[in-house]
Structure 1
């Protein structure tokens, strides 16, 4: 079932936020277990050619059964903090973007904060925008950094979709992988860096949902038997929303930042599906080399996806001071958004 209502839009214009900030370090964690397309064909009515042609995905990672999302977050946080030269005790906030938290209560961000020893940090969870939660998390971090008492924020984006997808459902089982990525944001003295503009939108749809486990349909033996705790996805609805909203949102954010599309150095996009990325690039007229891709070897890693792409550029030294870049994603709901930033 898909329900369409009036679209809700939020955007910020002008010269950006008054307090500049920068990426001080990034990190990533990939579970060691690799699941190839060929392995999936042993249990699903599919083929390597079918998966590759429709998704561009060749393999994905699976988290070990005894581990949880918070474990991936902690593993991604350590190299990010090391790259930034920042001890956990100096963190002012830890924000975790995930729709696959360790448990409904307690807070996954609090679990991560405690494991890191970031005892003075504010802990925040951003969950309900699913694959777009990382966009909202960075937006929150950008505004927190405007407060003079906050100088350093750790943003983590992680999802363990293998725990909420039906292994017998070809529609979802071939797409998703498990991963976590981290970015440390700090105040900087470089004027004009940080957030230049943003564009957020939403339109209610049940095209992607997990029906059971909330107050409307609490967990019961019947909901478990019906598979209502698994992710359900209307692929056509996702395609239509993503290929429409991502180019619109990116164009809107660039316009509000007064930055032409062809002057944006990198586009770090939600790694949902290679065909969606290709369609978005074509709509924007952007060459492939300006859009780092990880979906082919990691699958759709939810909120972590665009941050795995960001990490690949930062760790390679490709994102240079003064470069303008965008983070853009869309998630269940549907909710979508783009941030236009300048690197310090």
Structure 2
């Protein structure tokens, strides 16, 4: 069944959430191992020109085999805590957005909470919205912060895509990188700050999927031999959906905040593909310098992507009091969403 955009999207209209909040600190962790385009061409049927033209990516990171997603989460969280001048014991909640959990059980957020020493924090995972999980995680944090007993939330986006990419996959092998980035959201006293509006949508699609390992197709020797544990991706479907849904979602969210897309100070996108981002900005007439790009040197880092862009601006002092900003992404499922925010 084909749904209209209005049927597929859920929106928040009005003056935003009543309790203001903002970004108090950010952090980033990049595995030290770098894989360049030139290295990939040795083993994949591709060229450096094809990779840079189609994706905008020059290099990406790979996590060491003895480490897991939670290790990257902890390494990204520590500088975020330092930037916010907080001790882990002061955290009220830890939310991890990732589709590459350490293992099915226990949850990655509990592992991270324990490693940080965030003894009293709620531990929550946002997983199967894939690259859009970061949007869902921040929306969840925003609503938690409406509770007077919750004033500090650590949100981490992290993915280790190299563990779910078939080694010979010409498409997945060039797109994806491993990384983690974190943001600490704290309640504030500035009226009108925090979440102004949002536009969240979904529509079932198997164009991007990991078919094996769940209750429908449990892991067996046969599924492993067939590579069902790896990501499969329909590139043209990703392009068509992303370049349609993202402009619609941004337009809807900004309109409900009483703003135009061109009036927003910063755009922090899921770092999927340079051509998707360029086309989205073009359709909305948004200057490119308002949307920091990290995918050229990090690749598509899944749920971490929008947080890497946020960190690049925030850590350089570019996210100023009163600035408006957009968090926007799309992931497998399909899930997509836009949050319109104001920094206190």
Which residue number in structure 2 is paired with residue 20 of structure 1?
A: 20
Which residue number in structure 2 is paired with residue 242 of structure 1?
A: 242
1:10·1:199 contact (CA, 8 Å) conserved in 2?
yes
Three-state SS of the structure 1 residue aligned to 2:150 is: coil
Three-state SS of the structure 2 residue aligned to 1:174 is: helix
Which residue number in structure 1 is paired with residue 178 of structure 2?
A: 178
TM-score (norm 2): 0.98
1:155 and 2:148 are equivalent in the alignment: no
Stretches of 4+ moved more than 4 A in 1? 3-7
Q: State the shift of 1:167 in Å.
A: 1.3
For 1:270 and 1:242, locate their aligned partners in 2 and report how far apart those are by CA, in whole Å: 11
The 3 A distance-change label for structure 1 pair 85 and 265 is same
Three-state SS of the structure 2 residue aligned to 1:170 is: coil
Unaligned runs of 5+ in 2: none
1:4·1:205 contact (CA, 8 Å) conserved in 2?
no
Aligned ranges for residues 43-122 of structure 1 at < 5 Å?
43-122=43-122
1:31·1:62 contact (CA, 8 Å) conserved in 2?
yes
2:81·2:184 contact (CA, 8 Å) conserved in 1?
yes
1:212 and 2:193 are equivalent in the alignment: no
Three-state SS of the structure 1 residue aligned to 2:328 is: strand
For 1:153 and 1:267, locate their aligned partners in 2 and report how far apart those are by CA, in whole Å: 22
Unaligned runs of 5+ in 1: none
Q: Residue deviations 1:42-64, cap 9 Å, x none?
A: 10011100100000000000000
2:262·2:284 contact (CA, 8 Å) conserved in 1?
no
Aligned length: 342
Which residue number in structure 2 is paired with residue 294 of structure 1?
A: 294
Q: Residue deviations 1:246-268, cap 9 Å, x none?
A: 11000100000001212100111
For 1:12 and 1:147, locate their aligned partners in 2 and report how far apart those are by CA, in whole Å: 18
The 3 A distance-change label for structure 1 pair 287 and 74 is same
For 1:292 and 1:66, locate their aligned partners in 2 and report how far apart those are by CA, in whole Å: 32
Which residue number in structure 2 is paired with residue 40 of structure 1?
A: 40
For 2:33 and 2:258, locate their aligned partners in 1 and report how far apart those are by CA, in whole Å: 44
Give the superposed CA RMSD. 0.9
For 2:316 and 2:153, locate their aligned partners in 1 and report how far apart those are by CA, in whole Å: 22
2:88·2:117 contact (CA, 8 Å) conserved in 1?
yes
Which residue number in structure 2 is paired with residue 168 of structure 1?
A: 168
